[in-house]
Amino acid sequence: MYPSGMSGGGDSSQAMVKVQPDGSAVVTVGSCDIGQGCKTIMAQITAEVLGIDYEAVKVVNDDTDNCPLSFGTFASRVTYVDGLATKLAAEDARRILFEVAAVMLECSEDELEAIDNQIRVKGNPDKALPIGEVAGAGTFGMRKLILGLGHYMRDPAAMDPETGECDPFCTLAWAASYAEVEVDTETGEVEILRLVNSYDVGKAMNPTHLEGQIDGGATMGVGAAMSENLHPFYPSLDFQPDNLGDYAIPTTMDVPDMESVIYECPSTNGPYGAKGIGEMTANTPGPAIVNAIHDAVGIWITNLPATPEKVLRALDAKGA
């Protein structure tokens, strides 16, 4: 079980959605993309709210001097916190589009919806205007700047001084990993035969990205469980690895057959029910692997990584 965003509240992200005169949109957020899909998700959310094509949305998040405030890309928070800020900003921009379209279509703003690259009257597809026409008329005819602003921040969570009770989390996601291992009792080597990782993502906004995130996190978990060791003689810092030859992150040969299972249990307040799972994906494989080793040969590895040496020592201790 794992929270999205910084626990305790106060975790803040802002977004701006500017609708261009041709009906395309530019989203500006402060969270950078380190490869796990911030740009994609913000574009998807904006496209959904404005009823425009994904390809018509450009996301700018490359320059902290110019972008709105964000606490950053960490804590499984971008889809959730930036996603909510972007959704608010896109809704704000859509409100301005509706103001313009209400004049053009001679109706009230509440009657309108944005869908299929059009602003149209709900239940009356004939009374519709291309979004580019509305944005153009709003920009040049009515001299508007069609700029939506959004800021999401959960209130800091107060703690009851008597009981310690507190509601610190935006949302909680659930996860489980299943591992099958083979232990060589002669050499102490552990081979992971199969690893299944299941995550409650709330709403799978981009299933392919989620699978990639789960695969990647699981591999970090496999590394932590099997080979990665920053302080081999902790608390002594001797023999601390200082290159990627000594600090053994998993290679293609170390990754078992993996299966990523996406489960959707919507959050009450995330964008479209989404939850963040970025960080937690690295956490569940280790315990599953350790439990599988116990199930196979009856030893408990209590200090990762589960090196052959530790496995053999535990087997010796058990035999003694």
Partner 1 sequence: MHTLELTVNGQGHKVEVGLKTTLLEVLRDKLHITSPKVGCNTGDCGTCSVLLDGVLVRSCITNALSVQGKSVTTLEGIIEPGDIHPLQKAFHENYGSQCGFCTPGMILASKALLDANPSPTRDEVKEALSGNLCRCTGYVKIIDSVLAAADEMKS
Binding site for partner 1 (CB under 8 A): 34-36, 208-209, 211-212, 214-220, 243-245, 249, 251-253, 255, 258, 260
> Which lies closer to partner 1 via its Cβ, residue 123 or residue 245?
245
Helix or strand run (H / E) with residue 187: none
Task: Read off φ and ψ for residue 81, nearest 5 degrees.
Answer: -75, -55
CB of 182 to partner 1, least distance (A): 17
Between residues 246 and 295, which has the closer beta carbon with respect to partner 1? 246
State whether residue 36 is helix, strand or coil.
coil
What one-character DSSP code corresponds to residue 201? Answer: -
Report, in Å, the least distance between residue 93 CB and partner 1: 29
For residue 202, which of 283, 269, 280 has the smallest C-alpha distance? 269
Compute the Cα dihedral for 81, 83, 85, 88 and give only its sign. Answer: negative
Min dist. Cβ of residue 45 to partner 1 (A): 19
Shortest distance (Å) from residue 155 CB to partner 1: 33
Least CB distance to partner 1 at residue 242 (A): 10
Q: Considering 186, 259, 279, 309, which one is annotated as catalytic?
A: 279
Q: Which is nearer to partner 1, 20 or 240 (CB)?
A: 240
Q: Cβ closer to partner 1: 34 or 158?
A: 34
Long-range contacts of 8-11 (CB under 8 A, 24+ apart): 8/156, 8/157, 8/166, 8/168, 9/153, 9/154, 9/155, 9/156, 9/157, 9/168, 10/153, 10/154, 10/155, 10/156, 11/71, 11/75, 11/77, 11/81, 11/153, 11/154, 11/170
The string of DSSP codes covering 211-255 is HHHHHHHHHHHHHHHHT--S-TTTTS-TT---STTTS----TTT-
260 within 8 A of 211, measured Cβ to Cβ? yes
Instruction: Select from 34, 44, 31, 20 the least CA-distant residue to 148.
Output: 20
Residue 216 vs 266, nearer CB to partner 1: 216
Q: Which is nearer to partner 1, 58 or 209 (CB)?
A: 209
Q: 286 burial class (0-12, 13-18, 19+ CB within 10 angstroms)?
A: buried
Q: Give me 305's structure tokens.
A: 């990584």
Q: Is 279 tagged catalytic?
A: yes
CB 128 within 8 A of CB 118: yes
Say if CB 46 and CB 90 are below 8 A apart: yes
Least Cβ distance, residue 215 to partner 1 (angstroms): 3
What amino acid positions are annotated as catalytic residues?
279
